[in-house]
């Protein structure tokens, strides 16, 4: 099967969908009947591109205000897509919200329906473009992949789709996420002023949907001595409407027990996950929640919200609270500090839960979907 995979997102810093494309492409390459061609936005290649620097290829804030900026970039990408296909393609897989025009069979991955559930968390120009194109994309696709059953159910209900047009292909966990001895990660932790097992970690783009304020309020509610001994370390690039967090974040940073690291390289994030007392993942809404799986695979307990796909991913290993309950999250954090047996039990449960997921499985479900669409 000659498969075209749109990998343009890999030109930007790798967050959720970028990691999905990179890991899926690598795993699909091991499927004997899959021959991948990767479209990088300006050309084609059989190889994954190197990681981009933060900010690369994103529309600048200035361009976002220019009428038609998204459409202009899309038009150029379509031209490159059409002109650069030197080999015949049997099927086109679009791993993001809307596919480029293609005369053959198309598969899309629908990671979430954030634009419907939380439209206020999307830039207006992008939201308008999603609303204009997504229904057409669903019509174009012969089959729609989702990361979780939660999103498959949402898509089936919203678009009125028959179940046979949807396939759940749960995401996997990269090899870099695994338990590590403190001595192995000591250098990276010291560079950030941290000590293994003595900090809480948040990972995710700073935007309202991630509900970072819940983590800030929960941590602020801990006794001063605990906050000093177990700071809250936040990793993630600036996102849409971060300004909504600025006042609360500034107060937390001024307190001296919260650190904002910004975007960090993948290997550093993996080491930070392995060394944390727990991952705090307070999001309102996720189609999957990769950091939850990555933390569990690293031997790190997870405190998350009982929302969207998070219970599906964390399963019985997760420690849950409501998205508007800082006291509940604070209590969960304190127990992981004071009750060593509880922490160990959550760690072991997380390792068992993470073992249920793999990129190989995701690739096999995806390749099977290709075969179904092509009549194999």
User: Looking at the structure, do residues 7 and 127 belong to the same domain, yes or no?
Assistant: yes
Checking if the pLDDT of 88 tops 90, the result is no
Angle in degrees, CA 197, 351, 26, rounded to 5: 105
Over residues 292-317, the mean pLDDT reads 97
Checking if the pLDDT of 55 tops 70, the result is no
- Cβ neighbors of 278 (< 8 A, separation 6 or more) are 200, 201, 295, 300, 301, 302, 303, 319, 333, 336, 343, 346
User: Looking at the structure, do residues 263 and 314 belong to the same domain, yes or no?
Assistant: yes
User: Looking at the structure, do residues 85 and 162 belong to the same domain, yes or no?
Assistant: yes
Comparing 42-56, 57-71, 281-295, the range with the smallest average pLDDT is: 57-71
User: Looking at the structure, do residues 23 and 91 belong to the same domain, yes or no?
Assistant: yes
* Assigned domain for 177 exists: no
d(CA 67, CA 65): 6
**SS3 label, residue 346:** helix
User: Looking at the structure, do residues 224 and 309 belong to the same domain, yes or no?
Assistant: yes
User: What is the pLDDT confidence band of residue 241, given thresholds at 50, 70 and 90?
Assistant: very low
**What tens digit of pLDDT does each residue of 6-29 get?**
999 988 777 789 999 999 999 999
User: What is the pLDDT confidence band of residue 309, given thresholds at 50, 70 and 90?
Assistant: very high
* Assigned domain for 106 exists: yes
* Assigned domain for 348 exists: yes
User: Looking at the structure, do residues 238 and 366 belong to the same domain, yes or no?
Assistant: no
Checking if the pLDDT of 57 tops 50, the result is no
User: Total domain count for the chain?
Assistant: 2
Query: 147 versus 65: which is more confidently predicted?
Result: 147
Query: 56 versus 68: which is more confidently predicted?
Result: 68
Comparing 100-104, 247-251, 261-265, 301-305, the range with the smallest average pLDDT is: 247-251
User: Looking at the structure, do residues 15 and 70 belong to the same domain, yes or no?
Assistant: yes
pLDDT the model gives residue 62: 47
State the residue range of the domain holding 349.
Answer: 182-354
User: Looking at the structure, do residues 137 and 261 belong to the same domain, yes or no?
Assistant: no
Class of residue 43 by CB neighbours under 10 A (exposed 0-12, middle 13-18, buried 19+): exposed
User: Looking at the structure, do residues 167 and 223 belong to the same domain, yes or no?
Assistant: no
pTM: 0.90
Phi, psi values for residue 363, rounded to 5°: -65, -40
d(CA 114, CA 287): 8
User: Looking at the structure, do residues 246 and 267 belong to the same domain, yes or no?
Assistant: yes
Are 304 and 319 in contact by the 8 Å Cβ rule? The answer is yes
User: Looking at the structure, do residues 13 and 62 belong to the same domain, yes or no?
Assistant: yes
Checking if the pLDDT of 262 tops 50, the result is yes
Task: Pull the structure tokens for residue 95.
Answer: 């791993």
User: Looking at the structure, do residues 162 and 195 belong to the same domain, yes or no?
Assistant: no
The CATH number linked to 66 is 3.40.50.2000
Q: What is the DSSP letter of 60?
A: P
d(CA 271, CA 184): 9
């Amino acid at each position: 099967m000659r498969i075209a995979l749109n990998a343009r997102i890999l030109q930007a810093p790798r967050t959720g969908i970028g990691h999905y494309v990179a890991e899926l492409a690598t795993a699909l390459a091991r499927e004997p009947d899959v021959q991948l061609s990767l479209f990088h936005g300006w050309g084609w290649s059989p190889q994954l591109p190197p990681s981009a620097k933060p900010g690369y290829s994103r529309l600048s804030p200035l361009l976002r205000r220019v009428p038609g900026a998204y459409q202009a970039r899309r038009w150029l990408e379509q031209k490159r897509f059409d002109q650069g296909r030197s080999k015949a393609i049997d099927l086109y897989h679009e791993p993001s919200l809307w596919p480029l025009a293609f005369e053959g069979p198309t598969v899309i991955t629908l990671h979430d329906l954030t634009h419907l559930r939380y439209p206020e968390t999307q830039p207006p120009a992008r939201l308008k473009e999603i609303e204009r194109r997504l229904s057409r994309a669903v019509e174009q696709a012969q089959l729609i992949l989702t990361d979780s059953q939660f999103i498959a159910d949402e898509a089936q209900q919203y678009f009125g789709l028959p179940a046979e047009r949807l396939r759940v292909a749960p995401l996997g966990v990269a090899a870099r996420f695994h338990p590590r001895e403190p001595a192995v990660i000591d250098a990276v932790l010291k560079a950030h002023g941290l000590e293994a097992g003595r900090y809480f970690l948040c990972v995710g783009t700073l935007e309202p949907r991630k509900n970072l304020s819940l983590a800030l309020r929960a941590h602020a509610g801990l006794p001063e001595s605990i906050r000093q001994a177990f700071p809250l370390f936040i990793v993630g690039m600036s996102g849409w409407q971060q300004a909504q967090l600025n006042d609360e974040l500034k107060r937390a940073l001024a307190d001296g027990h919260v650190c904002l690291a910004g975007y960090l390289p993948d290997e550093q994030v993996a080491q930070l996950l392995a060394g944390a007392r727990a991952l705090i993942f307070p999001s309102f809404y996720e189609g999957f929640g990769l950091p939850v799986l990555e933390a569990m695979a690293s031997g790190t307990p997870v405190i998350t919200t009982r929302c969207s796909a998070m219970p599906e991913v964390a399963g019985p290993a997760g420690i849950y609270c409501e998205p508007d309950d800082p006291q509940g999250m604070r209590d969960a954090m304190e127990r992981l500090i004071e009750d060593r047996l509880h922490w160990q039990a959550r760690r072991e449960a997380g390792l068992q839960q993470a073992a249920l997921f793999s990129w190989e499985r995701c690739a096999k479900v995806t390749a099977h979907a290709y075969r179904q669409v092509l009549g194999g």
